[in-house]
Chains A and B, each alone.
Chain A
């Protein structure tokens, strides 16, 4: 046994190269997967068209129009869809097929996989918010300047993170064939109750009181803050709520992952 010959390669391929390739191909894959790309983009667009533009009766809540309010709401709705289905259903699928196992047995840095999924969801969220902004400007009478648009994009990108963590937890807990159903059962009620589908002011009073327990509510309030919405509440509270939600989801996902490891 000549141990001297056995050496590990010192040269490693650049991490940036691996990460960028992983992100690029994941995004391409998601775009080509019509079941994902079409539904994730079309739902917020169509909903915004109906509830933000066609049903707009020029009402104002706290100084901003319904079409602007709903632009924020459906942008958040779109970002959550992209994250929850991209990561939740996507990872559940890779887990059940054994694909993730193969990836983990390769020298891929483990983070590259999750980061690729996360960046893809952020990419889709950016596409959605951009489409909605154009619709708002041309058909909904929304006034928005470039700085506001960019702040919305930045917020939506960061806002994907808590829901990506929720998606990860879902992927680790739910069996693959149940994952899309469960994702919808979380996604739709949480969106409605967080005030993403219609201005929160329209909801019954008790639901308005309930709304702050949902992370969707806090992300939307932050979005509304871009437009100087006076009912947005304290920014720091919303950030704290989203941060806490992220930490809880990540801890639970970590726990679920370790349990899975022990039993596998």
Chain B
């Protein structure tokens, strides 16, 4: 289990070719809504990239452009150096979307046979069944499956062509913990085999556990991009990546103004009785606070969570 939970950032290859990109893409819908505003991003070979953002941030628009389902108003979307709207360019991609319902009166193996048939070198049927955890379900009608099992079928369809670029939109919705871990392990092994994965998810722990790189978008722009650790510290208001930003929670008599004057303290907030301090040098800050306030209690020191970073980054200005 611990092996599965380990963040994969360390194994990340440094020299990676660009597999897919959006270059200065603006997408304006006919009703005037600007979904993407001069947005650029790149996906490199062997990377798992998580695209995060609140609802309506432009995540799905960005993914739809890369899947060739929609055209940019300006700018350019490329996969493998070609236009994704070109069907041939999609022979190396696999897609998992949030689909309510596949045709219910087809068996699991029939659905898989159809999708394997679209690709020149599909994944071996037995491997696919194993990778998606569908053993024993092959002869079931799609309509008879549970929500989690359906999700696994969609995962199998995404992998059917043994693609080099995989789009996964909320892949683990409706899965139980065990199935979710299995899918995580599969996604990691895809990246280990040199596949590129673009993941959109609402589960921040999922992005944290899986992604080599996180791209946070809000209002159609990239607000932050980096490793999960970098994104967390960006969110904590510290721009120097890699510094050990910590969040201190305690009950103290020190005022907000006073705390803000301390070196390395980037933000201070009151949450009920607690004071929440974000600092890049937690040891120094704590030493000073403890010296000044003998009654300080209920002390807690935490690494910033991705969730905090996410909320801070996507807070509408």
Encode A6-42 as 1/0 by CB contact (under 8 A) with B.
Answer: 1111011100011001100100110011000000000
Contact status A97-B120, CB under 8 Å: no
Q: List chain B residues, Cβ under 8 A from A148.
A: none
Instruction: Identify the stretch in B95-103, B126-134, B262-270 within 8 Å (CB) of chain A at 4 or more residues.
Output: B95-103
The majority secondary structure among interface residues of chain A is helix
A261 CB within 8 Å of chain B: yes
Given the known interface contacts A25-B114, A102-B97, A106-B115, the answer about A9 and B121 at a Cβ–Cβ threshold of 8 Å is yes
- How many chain A residues sit at the interface, stated as a range, is 35 or more
Task: List the B side residues contacting A108 at CB < 8 Å.
Answer: 87, 118
- Total B residues in contact with A, Cβ cutoff 8 Å: 45
Task: Establish whether residues A29 and B31, one from each chain, have CB atoms under 8 Å apart when the complex forms.
Answer: no
Whether B114 contacts A21 by the Cβ 8 Å rule is yes
Q: Is the CB of B114 within 8 A of A29?
A: no
Asked if A106 and B97 make an inter-chain contact with CB atoms under 8 angstroms apart, the answer reads: no
Contact indicator A29/B105 (Cβ below 8 Å): yes
User: Is A96 part of the binding interface, using a Cβ–Cβ cutoff of 8 Å?
Assistant: yes
How far is A234 from B24 in the complex, measured between Cα atoms in Å?
60
- Closest Cβ of chain A: how far from B51's Cβ, in Å? 16
Set B31, B95, B121: member contacting A106, Cβ < 8 A: B95
Query: B145 on the interface (CB 8 Å rule)?
Result: no
Instruction: Give Cα distance in the complex from A13 to B115, angstroms.
Output: 11
A139: shortest Cβ distance to chain B, in Å?
32
For B106, the closest partner residue in chain A by CB is A29
Q: Does A201 contact B (CB under 8 A)?
A: no
Closest to A20 in B: B117
Distance in angstroms from B281 CB to nearest chain A CB is: 38
User: Do A21 and B17 touch (CB < 8 A)?
Assistant: no
Q: Is A98's CB under 8 angstroms from B99's CB?
A: yes
A-B residue pairs, 3 tightest by C-beta: A32-B105, A97-B101, A97-B100
19 chain-A/chain-B pairs, Cβ below 8 angstroms:
A8-B80, A8-B82, A13-B120, A18-B117, A21-B113, A22-B114, A25-B106, A28-B105, A29-B103, A29-B105, A29-B106, A33-B104, A98-B100, A102-B102, A105-B97, A106-B95, A107-B93, A109-B87, A110-B87
Interface residues of B, Cβ cutoff 8 Å to A: 17-19, 29-31, 67-70, 80-82, 87-93, 95, 97-106, 110, 113-115, 117-121, 141, 154, 157, 161, 167
Taking Cβ atoms with an 8 Å cutoff, the residues of A that contact B are: 1-3, 5-9, 11-13, 17-18, 21-22, 25, 28-29, 32-33, 93-94, 96-99, 101-102, 104-110, 261-264
